[in-house]
Structure 1
């Protein structure tokens, strides 16, 4: 994604309903330990790294590892809105995105 002057950054809004208390769902997105248990594209992948600094402007970062070839995919962003347990918003950029800003490093 490019933030060029003639193109606004893209936005993605995800809304889901879970059969769980709002605080538990919010904590699943903001607890490093819990993120490592669920954030991955496939069940057999690992998430060896999850970093959360839960404050406006604080970094958010995860690394996922493919168990078949060891390849890692990492990305992160920063928190832009926090209203526990009702709302959580953050930016996101994959590490291999050209010109990306380094978050949490």
Structure 2
């Protein structure tokens, strides 16, 4: 199942761009929101947020049945605007942040992998983004 179509997920977070950026990029926060559902978690996260820097988040099922490293290398970083990276398998991801007053829109566009259905991937990435929105809106700086 080969696909060259890019996939988009987005959310509007009721928080300032500064807060959204910090919560999106700081490993202590990433570990608290980076999961698609309550039965998954991110026990470790590393982030060297600069062009050429690398990141890695360990995502695992809480019951220990499955886990994987999600990581790559940054291609572009513009504070409060854009994060673009290449995953370990060569797929590209572009994230834009657009803030206005106390509201920030986050849009992620990514190349899907070829193992799982595109709809499944879009649902998973959207679930993680929705979890981020919930965390950012309910957690104080």
Shared fold (TM-score, shorter chain, > 0.5): yes
Tell me what 1:61 maps to: 56
Tell me what 1:75 maps to: 70
- Structure 2 residue corresponding to 1:46, chosen from 41, 53, 62: 41
- Structure 1 residue corresponding to 2:22, chosen from 20, 27, 34: 27
Tell me what 2:12 maps to: 17
- Where does structure 1 differ by over 4 angstroms across 4 or more consecutive aligned residues? 9-15
Work out the number of aligned pairs and report it. Answer: 89
Distance 1:89 1:31 in 2: 16
Greater per-residue helix proportion: 2
- For the aligned residues, what is the CA RMSD? 2.5
TM-score, normalized by length of structure 2?
0.53
Structure having greater relative contact order (Cα 8 Å, sep ≥ 6): 2
Q: Which runs of 5 or more residues in structure 2 are unaligned?
A: 90-112, 114-141
Distance 1:40 1:86 in 2: 23
